[in-house]
Structure 1
Amino acid sequence: MGVKNGDARKRVTTAWGRLRWPLLLAAVLLCLGALVVAGMLPEFMSAPKSSPSTPAWQQEPGSLSQVDGVLPLDAEAPVPVPAEVSKLLNGTLKPDGAGSISGVVMDASTGQVLFDRDANANRIPASNMKLLTAVAALKALGPDSRFTTRVLASDDPSTVVLTGGGDVLLGGAKSDPAAVMGRAGLASLASDTAASLTKAGIKGPITVRVDDSLFAGGPLNPAWSLDDVAAGETAPLFSLALNSGRYSPEVTTGPRPQDSAVTTAQAFAEQLAAAGVQVSPGVERGKGVPAKVLAAAESATVSEQVDLMLETSDNFLAEALGRMTAGASGKETTYDGATAAVRQRLGELGIATDSMQLADVSGLALENQVSARQFAEVVRAITSGPDLALRTALDGFPVAGLTGTLGDRYVDAGTAEGAGLVRAKTGTLNTVIALSGYVVDADGRLLVFSFIGNGLDPGAAGNKVAMDRSASVLASCGCRG
């Protein structure tokens, strides 16, 4: 049997636990100020902290709690009445101008549909595609797996080969065990390589080669707009890269390296020189001898990479995870292999895929076609399904008004009631807005939802607001009729 709603509730509480310190400090300072101004009147000491009508799980905590003591959601909490949910959402889920928004809301535990507006219609999903990639990667690779970047010797003792193992989150400095991006660092790889060369009595000059053959096929997906590539939304994909295919981890927009494998090898050569090795100029492609490992560094876990992908909506990382999923699923490590592997793994979860059209696994391609119901089923598999490996994706969902791609949303009066409560993956293209995630309603019922707008007026601010407001009313809804 699958784990019930308690696991999802525990994840929500864990996320709140990480964010509570700044909020608690602000609350304490405000309370102290109020007491001083009021002359520390006794009645202030007994004033209630929150309205009795506010559910306990939506109140600011009065003290720190231990995660191990978190109680599961009440399995007997009332399921919202579909007519009441529909009444609320029909008033909020409206496009700002042209286009249409389809959507579905389901009870996570039972799968009962509480709201359905063209839920089975195929839609362009934008970055909601990453939800499909997340569950496929976790199922195929396992949440605790890591990717290894190796430096191999070659038949020529004066040549070393930097060999990609699928880690596109390499850092330029020393390996940082606490990091996701930069967990494996080129400086550490270079230092270990230099030590191995010294131990073997090999002196320079050393030629650096790079082996990026783990990923097959062309590095650029023909389904992508070249304008998106030029704008830095993604880049040609290789089996090793620095900073998820960027020049700097701090600069997430603008031009990217067009050959991340060579760029990474050049950076490695510089670190090798800094470690005291005489290095020949230039970088070549080639292969090493697998049995002769000079140095190796492991990536962050797959679950950590999935969380980063979902929270920041990283297209380059999504495609790399797709290729690794393809390899683990017996497919070619190409773009087509990645989409085939995602489809295969979704089918293993019991999610219907016949109607899907998949052109990439990041969501940049306009040829992608997936329904709101299929996304809701994926979210339900993560929150409440029998495969416990998928639970690790819960931390990657952005928190409304606080983290990731939802950090600057849920701040106005119409949506603020969902701040800190709604957790959802966003999706945005020129005429596409999508939001799929989960929320605990006012009665303590875990709900999953998916809203997808297509044919929308580009830049119309009301479309995101409509979706955010719709998710917010779910959070505040008792909806018992």
Structure 2
Amino acid sequence: MISRRLFLSAALGALGTAAQAQTEGLLPFTGPDSAPRPKMRPVTGTTPGERGLEAILRAANVSGETHFAVADAATGSVLEQRDGDIGLPPASVTKALTALYALDVLGPSHRFRTRLLTTGPVTAGVLQGDLILAGGGDPTMDSDHLAALADDLKAAGVVEVRGRFLVWDRALPYVPTIDPGQPDYLGYSPAISGLALNFNRVHFEWKRAGQGWNTTLQARTAHRRPDVTMARMKIVDRSAPVFAYLHERGVDSWSVARAALGKEGARWLPVRRPGLYAADVFRTIARDKGLRLGVPEFLDQAPEGTPIAQHSSEPLTKLLKDMLKYSNNLMAEMIGLAATARIGGDMTNLASSARQMSEWARVKYGMTSSLLVDHSGLGEDSRLSATDLVRALSAAHGMGQLKPLLKQVHLKDSKGRPLYDHPVKVMAKTGTLNFVSGLGGFVTTADGRELVFAIFSADLDKRAGIARSQRERPRGAKSWNARAKRLQLQLIERWAHLHSA
């Protein structure tokens, strides 16, 4: 008989011999054909590392280059970047840096002043001297403010001016247009001087009247519609261009193609002589209040006189919040120039002032790979790197300066609808030119971690192929910019997911 112990020992030995034989290839393997493998997860935008990042970039289908960086807001430590040290045109994201420049140099409570000065006494209501309209670089002056100055002048007892009507607009340099590469008629590239009015735009309106049209050019606000004499409009027979501009004997002379006018319409046109524009409108308003002024004469030097009336702008923080919200180019340029003037820098033109701002950013934030040509981002030759901007944003986060001034950017669902209750909050500055798109600012993740980021995309070859006359609506630019904006939000969702606390 075989004992139980002997049986078990023999069986185990046989199994061991069989296993060894299979290992050495002496017996056929009788197990499964292949070993089971773990199921691969699909690669998505929230997949860590290069695979997830490449998935987002491929799906975005944004031609040209896309550079970005994201960092911890508190430490400035970069969490992810792609060509972050290589500059691209930042478009209006530049305005975020301009805001920091102005806050540092001018201070958050700074106000711009526009003054009326007199050079003689007021006797029995008659000013025995000159009246001076002196601009102080206020980018928000409008026709209502000029009317208030005229009211203050009357309240001071002035009913007649025996002397000259003088104007000083040299607090800032004269610049004929923010970006010479833009078509003449685009209102977002007006002229600049130390005296501005209605964002240096004139309101052109037309209405059909019989076989022709009635037209007006006005310094329009919500409350006033004073006519303008320093700008004129002619309707001409031509197919293109729709608008054409000439400066003729001190007048902004516009013409419009007859075929382009429908039954009625309106648009804002840029003003090319803003000091003359403000003087013209002030004369009209004063005349309507019974005070006649002579033809304006312009001063080259800062005036001396006795203040009789003054308008002060809102504090700088309010101006910057509006500038960033509405992406107003004129405000950015005038505020940037004022900051350069305060530090005694070169403000011969926009490019020289922007170089001063670039140097300030290098010293202040260590921004070494950025060079700007203006303060608004309208010029395509500006270059700003993502890591440079992230450095500045991280520093600004520590001081609590910029974030409260920025506009909220909402993440969107798969159909492009804003998700107003999304737990991830984004406060940022957008930037858009044809085939150029940027976004920079602050992200608060669902669990409260603060991030700073900058994203720049540009297809410079496509942009270079746009004729100057086509820069308002070039073919393909709208869809390209829409794809770039979707990519920005997808990157933010990725970072909010991967870098939550």
Relative to the length of structure 1, the TM-score reads 0.70
Percent identity for Structure 1 against Structure 2: 26
Give the whole-Å Cα distance in 1 for the aligned partners of 2:181 and 2:298: 28
Structure 2 unaligned spans of 5+ = 1-45, 121-126, 203-219, 223-264, 463-475
Partner of 2:454: 450
Instruction: Quote the RMSD (CA, aligned, Å).
Output: 2.9
Partner of 1:237: 192
The structure with the greater share of residues assigned to helix is: 1
- Give the length in aligned residue pairs: 369
Corresponding letter in the other structure for 1:238 = S
Corresponding letter in the other structure for 2:186 = A
Change in CA separation of 1:93 and 1:153 when aligned onto 2, cut-off 3 Å: farther
Whether 2:249 is the aligned partner of 1:284: answer: no
Change in CA separation of 1:283 and 1:89 when aligned onto 2, cut-off 3 Å: farther
Corresponding letter in the other structure for 1:293 = P
Corresponding letter in the other structure for 2:432 = T
Match of residue 444, structure 2, among 440, 443, 466:
440
Partner of 1:15: none
Match of residue 48, structure 2, among 84, 87, 98:
84
Relative to the length of structure 2, the TM-score reads 0.67
Whether 2:310 is the aligned partner of 1:346: answer: no
> 2:99·2:402 contact (CA, 8 Å) conserved in 1?
yes
Corresponding letter in the other structure for 1:226 = Q
Partner of 1:400: 409
Give the whole-Å Cα distance in 2 for the aligned partners of 1:414 and 1:171: 37
The correspondence of residues 195-234 of structure 1 with structure 2, limited to 5 A, is 195-198=155-158, 203-204=160-161, 207-216=164-173, 218-221=175-178, 224-227=180-183, 229-234=184-189
SS in 1 for 2:148: helix
Shift of 1:264: 1.2
SS in 1 for 2:353: helix
Which protein is bigger by CA-based radius of gyration? Answer: 2
Change in CA separation of 1:108 and 1:480 when aligned onto 2, cut-off 3 Å: closer
Whether 2:312 is the aligned partner of 1:308: answer: no
Shift of 1:194: 2.4
Shift of 1:379: 1.9
SS in 2 for 1:399: strand
SS in 2 for 1:110: coil
Change in CA separation of 1:161 and 1:395 when aligned onto 2, cut-off 3 Å: same
Partner of 1:57: none
SS in 1 for 2:70: strand
Whether 2:490 is the aligned partner of 1:469: answer: yes
Change in CA separation of 1:269 and 1:288 when aligned onto 2, cut-off 3 Å: farther
The correspondence of residues 260-299 of structure 1 with structure 2, limited to 5 A, is 260-280=274-294, 282-286=295-299, 289-299=303-313
Shift of 1:211: 0.6
> 2:354·2:374 contact (CA, 8 Å) conserved in 1?
yes
Change in CA separation of 1:93 and 1:317 when aligned onto 2, cut-off 3 Å: farther
Match of residue 151, structure 2, among 182, 186, 191:
191
Corresponding letter in the other structure for 2:190 = A
Shift of 1:383: 1.6
Change in CA separation of 1:345 and 1:115 when aligned onto 2, cut-off 3 Å: same
Shift of 1:85: 7.2
Give the whole-Å Cα distance in 2 for the aligned partners of 1:253 and 1:474: 41
| Residues 375-414 of structure 1: CA deviation (Å, up to 9, x unaligned) | 2222222222xxx4xx34323312124xxxxxxx846546
Match of residue 133, structure 2, among 162, 176, 200:
162
Structure 1 unaligned spans of 5+ = 1-81, 174-184, 402-408
Give the whole-Å Cα distance in 2 for the aligned partners of 1:197 and 1:85: 74
> 1:154·1:289 contact (CA, 8 Å) conserved in 2?
no
The correspondence of residues 167-182 of structure 1 with structure 2, limited to 5 A, is 167-173=138-144
> 2:440·2:455 contact (CA, 8 Å) conserved in 1?
yes
> 2:116·2:149 contact (CA, 8 Å) conserved in 1?
yes
